[in-house]
Structure 1
Amino acid sequence: MNNFSRKNHSEKNRKRRKKNEDSDFYSKDNISSRENNRFSMKSSKKHGIKNFNESDKVRTNLSSNRRKPLNKSKNEISTKSHYLNKELVNNKNFDDWIWGKHSVYEALISERAINRIWCTSEIFSSEKFYTLLKDLKLKGVLIEEVSWNRLSQLTFGASHQGAALQLASSKTISLEELIKFSKTNSTNPIILALDGITDPHNVGAIIRSAEAFNSKGIVIPQRRSAGLTGTVAKVAAGALEHLPVSRVVNLNRALAELKKNGFLIVGLSGNGKLSISNFHEKTPLVVVIGSEDKGISLLTQKKCDFLLKIPLKGKTSSLNASVAAAISLFHLTGN
């Protein structure tokens, strides 16, 4: 019995020891695993911070790399625009321009030939300029009220003081004077009326042909037409000095006035029903020539007594306005 009890007691002690050893082992494992976890978390945090710093550095490098070409391109654009603006100023011929309110005023009272005037509303309504500008408008000078910024654009930033003008290469006369002049020199005069021809080269070439075929004058509207600029005078090759030009406020009213004074109004049109070679009227004539792209406006066509066409035999459907004018004058003066 004693032996059995001793054995049981020793076995119990053994089992207790084993349990304690196992528990110690597991607790050590837990402690080590916790330490490992702490270490791994610390290292991961460190790595995370490092990675974040590295990624941040990459981002900043990329952004700096991106910013540099943008700044470069902005500088390039600004320099390019600067040189382009300079080139435009050099290319634009300002020989026939006057700006500055005192200079403009002196040009107005000296009765120089003027093509166009730009001014601000303050200048236009001022006591000094209002009467002068109103009289010039009635004489056919194109006057535009523009903003200060628009005037700065037109003069490329010059000190314009709210007023600028472009001189004409020749003085214009009133429609009444043109009618009187044409009838005193010829029984069947021919006058050309230009509708919407804005290209100065075409206007200059038409003036040259008109003078060569003994036309008695040209009628041009204030708007939608090239004025008597230096380019027009150059292309006209001296013809502008021998051919009177009347600049009217409204072309259709001018045509009605010419009709009252015995002129027959004929228009050149690709849709005309009568060929110019079959037209044989012996009377004072006004030949209306429209622009190449739009031709004679519908309202002006209604004012015409005849719409004449130039017969074309090739595949080309239309002619240059100055060429059409020369051909029509050749046919009409030959009759």
Structure 2
Amino acid sequence: MHGGRGSGRRRSSRQIAGKSRQGESRQVQGQVQGDEQLIAGRNPVIESLKAGRRISRILIAEGSRGKPVDQITELASTRGVGLEYVSRDVLDQLVSPGMGSHQGVVAFARPKEYVSVERILEVTERGAGRPLIVILDGIEDPRNFGAILRTCDACGVHGVIIRERRAVGLTPAVAKASAGAIESVPVARVTNLAQAVEKLKQHGIWVAAAHGDATKAISIWDADFTVPLAVIIGGEGRGVGRLLLESCDFVVSIPTMGKVSSLNASVALAVVLYEVLRQRQR
């Protein structure tokens, strides 16, 4: 997120009144500086600190207690990150509704950086197990993307590849929905997914698209997921694009028994990935 850069100059500073832990009234800078991003929520902030993300300061709502808050305080102290104790109203003003609950904690950090496809391939070579990569063709809902990253982290995915246009990126809302998984799953953003697919194939990775409407789709129960694999999931409502489908080695579908023939993108990916894990652990 590049707050305040659209006009070519930084927004004017906005002062938000707050209080210190000792109760003394003071002014707290509530502006996102330059290209900083907000990280809202206890787990996302903890994982950002653990991952070594560059954080300039952390705001904590007065009266916040519990193990996660203690952990944030300890990690911030270790890394030399400043803490400010403010009223909960301050955090309410900072965090937009789309980012979800701030849980009394907000951090100001440098944006999460993307990696290259080559970097993800390096991770597959060094990582444990056979390569497992996820490709997202036009996911636009930040909550979906965040849930996908969370599932990818749980399933040991080596990296995620997204397209640059008409797709959500690594935004604060995605970070919040991922519950911190954004810090552990490498994400590459490319202008051409078809070219990225060809690059994966050159490295011996099989590419499968989850697309229930394809005429030659095979059930995930019958597919061989023990090979080095990249799984493509399409965007909400549109599915996987024609050119990508044509570049895949095979297409799979998820059997359903109800009247609704399709699943949410993040749910569909979770079903596929856990079938991949099941087959690989046999």
If the length of structure 1 is used for normalisation, what is the TM-score?
0.51
Structure 1 residue matching 2:4: 3-state secondary structure: strand
Distance 1:182 1:190 in 2: 7
* Amino acid paired to 2:250: F
Name which of 288, 294, 301 aligns with 2:238. Answer: 294
Q: Once the 2 structures are TM-superposed, how far is the Cα of residue 101 of structure 1 from its aligned partner? A: 3.3
Q: Are 1:236 and 2:142 counterparts?
A: no
**Partner Cα separation in structure 1 for residue 211 and residue 180 of structure 2:** 29
Aligned mates of 1:280, 1:260 — CA distance in 2:
19
The structural deviation recorded for 1:284 is 1.3
Unpaired runs of 5+ residues, structure 2, are 12-33, 38-108
Give the Cα separation in 2 of the matches to 1:196 and 1:241.
21
Q: Deviations over 1:35-82 (max 9, x none)?
A: xxxxxxxxxxxxxxxxxxxxxxxxxxxxxxxxxxxxxxxxxxxxxxxx
Q: Secondary structure at the match of 1:97?
A: coil
Q: From the superposition, tell whether residues 211 and 251 of structure 1 become closer, same or farther in structure 2 (CA, over 3 Å).
A: same
Query: 2:196: which partner in 1?
Result: 254
**Aligned CA distance change for structure 1 residues 182 and 312 (closer, same or farther; 3 Å):** same
Please give the per-residue CA displacement for 1:288-323, whole angstroms capped at 9, x wherever unaligned.
000231110001100110100000011111100000
Paired letter, 2:116: S
Contact preservation (8 Å) 1:96, 1:230: no
Aligned counterpart in structure 2 of residue 245 of structure 1, from 162, 179, 187: 187
- The aligned counterpart of 1:267 is 209
Q: Which has the higher contact order (CA 8 A, sep 6+)?
A: 2
Asked if residue 208 in structure 1 is aligned to residue 114 in structure 2, the reply is no
**Partner Cα separation in structure 1 for residue 265 and residue 180 of structure 2:** 20
What is aligned with 2:276? 332
Indicate whether 1:186 and 2:93 are aligned: no
- Percentage identity across aligned positions? 37
- In structure 2, what is the equivalent of residue 173 of structure 1? 115
Which consecutive unaligned segments of at least 5 residues does structure 1 have?
Answer: 1-94, 105-110, 115-166
Distance in 2, matches of 1:168 and 1:295, equals 32
Deviation readout 1:247-272 (Å, 9 max, x if unpaired): 11111111111111111000001134
CA contact (8 A) 1:168 1:230 kept: no
CA distance in 2, matches of 1:317, 1:168: 41
Structure number, greater radius of gyration: 1
Q: How far did residue 102 of structure 1 move? A: 5.6
- More strand by percentage: 2
Deviation at 1:98, TM superposition (A): 2.9
Q: Which amino acid is the alignment partner of residue 288 of structure 1?
A: I
- The equivalent residue for 2:220 is 276
Q: CA deviation at 1:103?
A: 5.0
Instruction: State which of 2, 5, 8 in structure 2 corresponds to 1:101.
Output: 8
How far, CA to CA, are the matches of 1:113 and 1:213 in structure 2? 30
Which residue identity is paired with 2:243?
A: L
SS at match of 2:177: helix
Inter-partner Cα distance in structure 1 for 2:36 and 2:198: 27
Pair 1:310 & 2:216 matched: no
Q: Quick one: distance in 2 between partners of 1:327 and 1:313? A: 15
> Structure 1 residue 326: deviation in Å?
0.6
Deviation at 1:112, TM superposition (A): 6.7
User: Match for residue 323 of structure 1?
Assistant: 267
Separation in structure 2 between the aligned mates of residue 255 and residue 280 of structure 1, nearest angstrom: 19
Classify the secondary structure of the residue corresponding to 1:219.
Answer: strand
Indicate if the aligned counterparts of 1:96 and 1:168 stay in contact, CA closer than 8 A: no
Aligned-CA RMSD value: 2.3
Q: Extract structure 1 runs of 4+ deviating beyond 4 A.
A: 111-114
Distance in 2 of aligned mates of 1:279 and 1:334: 12
Letter in 2 for 1:97: G
| CA-to-aligned-CA distance 1:156-188 (integer Å, 9 cap, x gap) | xxxxxxxxxxx9741111111111112211341
1 or 2, which has the higher helix percentage?
Answer: 1
Query: How many angstroms does 1:96 deviate by?
Result: 5.4
Give the deviation of 1:280 after TM superposition.
2.3
Query: Following the alignment from structure 2 to structure 1, what is the Cα–Cα distance between the partners of residues 188 and 36?
Result: 12
Aligned mate of 1:196, from 124, 134, 138? 138
Aligned 8 A contact 2:2 2:35 in 1: no
Structure 1 pair 331–281 and aligned structure 2 pair: CA distance change class (3 A):
closer
CA–CA separation in structure 2 for the residues paired with 1:170 and 1:259: 27
